Amino acid sequence: MKLKALSKIPVSVSPHRSLNFSKGVISSGELFNDKTDVILNKLSSQGETEVRRITIKKDGVIFKTKHLVLTFRSSKLPQFIKAGYIRYAIRPYIPNPLRCFQCQLLGHAKASCRGTLTCARCAELGHDNTDCKRKEKCVNCKGEHSSFSRLCPKWQLEKEIISLKIKKGISYLEAKKLVQSRTPTPGISYASASKATKKSSNLTLFDK
């Protein structure tokens, strides 16, 4: 687009941050010791614009993994890429749900939060979870676990929505409607539904 001004008002054009890009994951032991900028240089001819290595944190120590998140300048994710003589299958990158480190609610980040500091362990206002020893309670589902637990039914629901959004290439709202349409028993909290599922899974049925 060559438009520079509209009625003497300066106009700038830039690619949409999400619609014109896609993200995928590859797993490569061969590229484990390579820096991400070196990997990007090797792969950039195939449409990659960014490479990020997935890391994990254990006992306060960060470890790198063989998994790489690749960003492509295309809305359609390629099925594979080549690095040297090796061909790598690409799978869709499904990010984890966003959780605010200020109020602990899902769906936004701390930088844009207007809420009150809330403990991620006990869900009480006014303190963080650093030295908290109180009973665990989730801000999002009110269940008996911390707000950062991946066992949280609301976290799992949000993850399912994000996964469906990316795999089907639809909007977040469309994915949310699809997921909610197959969620049984409206009116029951996610925490209650989760407890009921756990209890029923422990039952043994016998034929008469």
Judge whether 48 and 31 are in contact, CB under 8 Å: no
pLDDT for the residue numbered 203: 44
Answer whether residue 45 shows pLDDT above 60. yes
Q: Is the pLDDT of residue 201 over 50?
A: no
Task: Let me know if 90 is exposed, middle or buried by CB neighbors in 10 A (0-12, 13-18, 19+).
Answer: middle
pLDDT of residue 208: 39
- Amino acid 71: pLDDT: 93
Residue 199 in this model has a pLDDT that exceeds 70: no
| Tens of pLDDT, residues 64-86 | 999 999 999 888 889 999 988 89
Q: 90-113: per-residue pLDDT in tens?
A: 999 999 999 999 999 999 999 999
Q: Which long-range contacts (CB under 8 A, 24 or more apart) does 150-159 make?
A: 151/194, 152/190, 153/190, 153/191, 153/193, 153/194, 154/106, 154/190, 155/97, 155/99, 155/106, 157/183, 157/190, 158/97, 158/106, 158/107, 159/94, 159/96, 159/97
Strand partners, 205: none
Nearest in space to 183 (alpha carbons), one of 156, 149, 201, 202: 156
The total number of residues shown for the chain amounts to 208
> Nearest 5 degrees, angle CA 155-CA 21-CA 14?
120
User: pLDDT tens-digit profile of 3-20?
Assistant: 666 666 776 666 555 567
Residue 89 pLDDT: 95
Confidence check: pLDDT of 25 > 50: yes
CA–CA gap between residue 46 and residue 134 (Å, rounded): 52
- What's the pTM value of the predicted model, to 2 decimals? 0.71
Per residue in 112-153, pLDDT (tens digit) is: 999 999 999 999 999 999 999 999 999 999 999 999 999 999
